A and B are shown apart, each in its own frame.
Chain A
C-alpha cells in the first residue's frame, strides 16, 4: 500500500539509510506558497539590484583550476558587464584581476585561455603588468605628466579561492571565506575525486532568457517525464529526493540504473541499461539474474570494475554504492549546478547578460576522470544514457577548445531538450496574463534560492 504523499517528507531515495548522514533527506524548509513576481525575470531595475546587491557580494564560479595549472597559465571569465583574468601567478598562488587596462581601459586578455612566459601586455599601447598584477612598465612613460600616472599600481585584484578544482572569485573586498560560503558542500562532496577530473567538453550557449529562467530549468526533475521521457525507464523522476540547506544551497538525488516506478513491468531490465553497462565495458550477461528494480546493482558492480581498470579504485572505494550510480545534483548558490557522478561531473553555469535582463550566458563543463584502459569510452553526461558515448581511451591531456554552440544539438541530447524550453518559458513569463510560477514541492529548490536572493537584496 502506498503512503499518501506528504509534502513535508516528499520522497526519500535511500529509506534504508544506505548512504548514511550524507544521503539523508534534509529537514523541511517552509517557503510558503506564494508565486514569485514575474518582473524578477525581465525588469532592468531587478537586474541592476542583483548586480549591486547579489553579484558583487557572492562567490562566483570562474572556471576550473586545470586552466591555471602552471605558472603563467590564465583564463578569462566574462561575467555581466565585467571581465576577469584568473592566473597562476606563482607555484602556490592563483590570483584574479579585472580584465581592464588602467591606461585607457582596453581589455588585456581577449582569448579564453593561454599561458604567458613573462607578463601581460596590453595590445593597445603596450603597457606591461606582471603576473601578480603589479605594473611592470609604462611604454614611453616620460611622455606623461607625473600626476597622471603616479597612482597606477597595476591591475585591480578581486578575491580568488579554489575548492575541489573549481575556481571562485568574489568582487566584495571582504567576503566570507569560500569554505564557509559553501555551507554543507565541502562535507557532502569530500569523498568525490572532483579535483582529479579534467575538462572533456566546454560549451558556451547564449539564451534569450534571464539567467534565473535558465537555471530554474535545471534544479528540479519534475520536468523529466515531459522533457526527457527517455530517462523514465532507468531513473526516479517523480520520486526524486530534494534537500534544502543553508545559504541557498540545495540538492536533488536522481537515482540511476534501476527500473523506475513508472515502468509497467518493474521486473524487466530497463531498456537502455544494458547498453549503459556495455559503455562502461561491463558484460550485460553477468547481470541477467538481476530484476529490473534492482538493476542499479549492475551499474555499481560495473563502475567498481571500471575503477580497477582505470586506476581509480582507491578514490571510488570512498563512495557509497548509491554514489557509484546515482546523480547527486547540487545547486551552488547562485550561479552553478553540479551533477556529480562517481567518475564524472557536469558544471553548469548561468551568468547574467551585460545589459539585457532577458538574455543570459550558459556554459557547461563536462568533467571526467581520465582513463587508463585504452578501449574504455568516457561517459558524456550531456547525453545522459547509453548514447552518451565519449571518446575512447580519453586521458584528459588535450584541453578542448571552448565550443561556442550555434545549434542546440551541440549541447548533447539531454541538455538540448532542456535548452529548447528555456527561451519559450521566458516569453511566457513576460506575458501580461502570467502572474508568476505555481511551484510544486518538487520545485522547492526554486523557492529556496529565490528566498536567498531576497536576503541579499534586503527583502527579508
Chain B
C-alpha cells in the first residue's frame, strides 16, 4: 500500500452492541464502529448525502440507515442501497484481532474514492 499501514486498536469488540454501532473520535477523524456478530466495520461518521452525522443511525445487518433522510448504505462496500444519497459512505480498513477492533488509519477510503471505483468498475 502506498501509505504503508497504521493499524490502531480502537475498541474491544464486545463493547460494540451486536447489530449496532459505537461512535469514536481519533483526532480529527470521526468514526462509527459497526458490529455484525464477530465482524466489525469502520465507517466515517458523516452521511455523504448532506454531510450530517450518523450517531443515531440504525443498523439492519450490514445496512446502515441515516437518521436524517433515510439514506441507506452497505457498510461492507459503502454503496448506497436506497434513499437519497448517490454517493457512497466513506470508511477505513477494519479488522478484529483477539477480540479487539483495529482500524488502519493510514488508508482512508474516502467517499469519492469508493465512488470512482464503483463508477470505473461499472464501466469495465
From B56, B60, B61, B84, contact of A117 by CB (8 A): B56
Complex-state Cα separation, A110 to B81, whole angstroms: 11
Q: Give every chain A residue within 8 A of B66 (Cβ-Cβ).
A: 114
* B58 engages A114 (CB within 8 Å): yes
**From B17, which residue of chain A is reached at the shortest CB distance?**
A397
From A111, A118, A402, contact of B68 by CB (8 A): A118
Q: Check: B82 CB closer than 8 A to any chain A CB.
A: yes
Q: Check: B83 CB closer than 8 A to any chain A CB.
A: yes
* A121 engages B20 (CB within 8 Å): no
Q: Check: A109 CB closer than 8 A to any chain B CB.
A: yes
Q: Give every chain A residue within 8 A of B61 (Cβ-Cβ).
A: 398-401
* A115 engages B37 (CB within 8 Å): no
Number of interface residues of B (CB under 8 A): 26
Q: Give every chain A residue within 8 A of B55 (Cβ-Cβ).
A: 117
Per-position contact with A for B53-96: 1 when CB-CB < 8 Å, else 0? 00111111111011111101000000001111000000000000
Q: Give every chain A residue within 8 A of B36 (Cβ-Cβ).
A: 398
CB distance from A172 to the nearest CB of B (A): 29
> Would you call the interface of chain A mostly helix, strand, loop, or mixed?
loop
CB distance from A445 to the nearest CB of B (A): 34
Q: Check: B18 CB closer than 8 A to any chain A CB.
A: yes
Complex-state Cα separation, A110 to B63, whole angstroms: 14
Q: Give every chain B residue within 8 A of A118 (Cβ-Cβ).
A: 67-68
**From A108, which residue of chain B is reached at the shortest CB distance?**
B70
Q: Give every chain B residue within 8 A of A400 (Cβ-Cβ).
A: 60-61
* B68 engages A117 (CB within 8 Å): yes
Q: Give every chain B residue within 8 A of A116 (Cβ-Cβ).
A: 56, 67-68, 70
Per-position contact with B for A386-401: 1 when CB-CB < 8 Å, else 0? 0000000001011111
Complex-state Cα separation, A114 to B72, whole angstroms: 9
**From B84, which residue of chain A is reached at the shortest CB distance?**
A123
**From A73, which residue of chain B is reached at the shortest CB distance?**
B58
**From B53, which residue of chain A is reached at the shortest CB distance?**
A117
**From A403, which residue of chain B is reached at the shortest CB distance?**
B61
CB distance from B76 to the nearest CB of A (A): 12
Q: Give every chain A residue within 8 A of B70 (Cβ-Cβ).
A: 109-111, 114, 116
Complex-state Cα separation, A113 to B64, whole angstroms: 10
Q: Give every chain B residue within 8 A of A109 (Cβ-Cβ).
A: 70
Q: Check: A23 CB closer than 8 A to any chain B CB.
A: no
Per-position contact with A for B38-60: 1 when CB-CB < 8 Å, else 0? 00000000000000000111111
Complex-state Cα separation, A111 to B66, whole angstroms: 11
With A72-B56, A397-B18, A397-B20 already in contact, the answer to whether A121 and B69 are too (CB < 8 A) is: yes
* B56 engages A399 (CB within 8 Å): no
With A397-B20, A400-B61, A401-B60 already in contact, the answer to whether A111 and B72 are too (CB < 8 A) is: yes
Q: Give every chain B residue within 8 A of A397 (Cβ-Cβ).
A: 17-20
* A398 engages B67 (CB within 8 Å): no
* A115 engages B56 (CB within 8 Å): yes
Complex-state Cα separation, A111 to B49, whole angstroms: 15
Q: Give every chain B residue within 8 A of A402 (Cβ-Cβ).
A: 60
Q: Give every chain B residue within 8 A of A111 (Cβ-Cβ).
A: 65, 70, 72, 81-83
* A113 engages B56 (CB within 8 Å): no
Best-buried of A109, A111, A123, A399 by chain B (most CB within 10 Å): A111
Complex-state Cα separation, A447 to B80, whole angstroms: 47
* A113 engages B60 (CB within 8 Å): yes
From A72, A110, A399, contact of B60 by CB (8 A): A399
* B67 engages A115 (CB within 8 Å): yes
Complex-state Cα separation, A117 to B67, whole angstroms: 5
CB distance from A64 to the nearest CB of B (A): 13
Per-position contact with A for B87-116: 1 when CB-CB < 8 Å, else 0? 000000000000000000000000000000
> Which of chain A's residues 396-412 have a Cβ closer than 8 Å to chain B?
397-402
**From A116, which residue of chain B is reached at the shortest CB distance?**
B67
* A115 engages B69 (CB within 8 Å): no
Q: Give every chain B residue within 8 A of A110 (Cβ-Cβ).
A: 70, 82-83
16 further A-B contacts with Cβ under 8 Å, apart from A116-B67, A398-B59, are A72-B67, A110-B70, A111-B65, A111-B70, A115-B57, A115-B67, A395-B18, A397-B19, A397-B20, A398-B19, A398-B61, A399-B19, A399-B59, A399-B61, A400-B61, A401-B62
Those 7 A-B pairs whose CB atoms lie nearest each other, nearest first:
A398-B19, A114-B65, A115-B58, A117-B67, A117-B56, A397-B18, A111-B82
